Amino acid sequence: MKTTDWLGDPFAFKDNKLYMGRKVANRLLRGAQEAVPYEFSALLAGRDATITDAVAMPISSDTGNFSWDGPAFLQALHSIRKRQLQWLGVLHTHPHTAPIPSRQDVLGWHYPTLSYWIVSLASETPEWRVYQWKNGAFLLRDYTVTEAADEAANSSAAVSPSSPKNS
Ligand SMILES: [Zn+2]
């Protein structure tokens, strides 16, 4: 893999299924619940089709819409590259509505190779959905939350994070 290959293509893999580490999923859910009534959003990072890390974005007080200012977005991307991970997707919440992309979501999405996650907090049980942008529409995809992804992330972090890694 090229070291410049920081923009992932998580749907390019054989079974077209995404994986997310349980720890990062729990962390995202906590952030999402703490942000209510506002929308929470985060950039998702990892390798190939497996999300192992996330960078939470500043909470927007503008309900019903998530948007990032340029510096925060660039800083988040920078931190993903510094961890030698790929940017694999975006997650945001719908605190009061179903996990269906809104018109604004459709118009505002500019990274068709990445995964698009929506967590709805409208009902008692949070509802997670992941979409792929294909032929001008959001398509519902499968994902699995797995402890194995946590272990993969831990073992790579154990390789002295301060020294440069040859991979
Ligand atoms: Zn939305």
- Residues 123-135: tens digit of each pLDDT: 999 999 999 999 8
- DSSP at 16: -
Distance 156 CA to ligand 1 centre (A): 33
Domain enclosing residue 112, as ranges:
10-156
Distance 157 CA to ligand 1 centre (A): 32
By the CB criterion, residues less than 5 angstroms from ion ligand 1 are: 102, 105
Contact 86, 47 (CB under 8 A): yes
HEC sequence for 67-114: CCCHHHHHHHHHHHHHCCCEEEEEEEEECCCCCCCCHHHHHCCCCCCC
CATH number at residue 72: 3.40.140.10
- Residues 21-78: tens digit of each pLDDT: 999 999 999 999 999 999 999 999 999 999 999 999 988 766 545 566 788 889 999 9
Inside any domain, residue 167: no
CA-wise closest residue to 148 among 7, 51, 55:
51
| Domains identified in the chain, total number | 1
* Predicted model pTM: 0.85
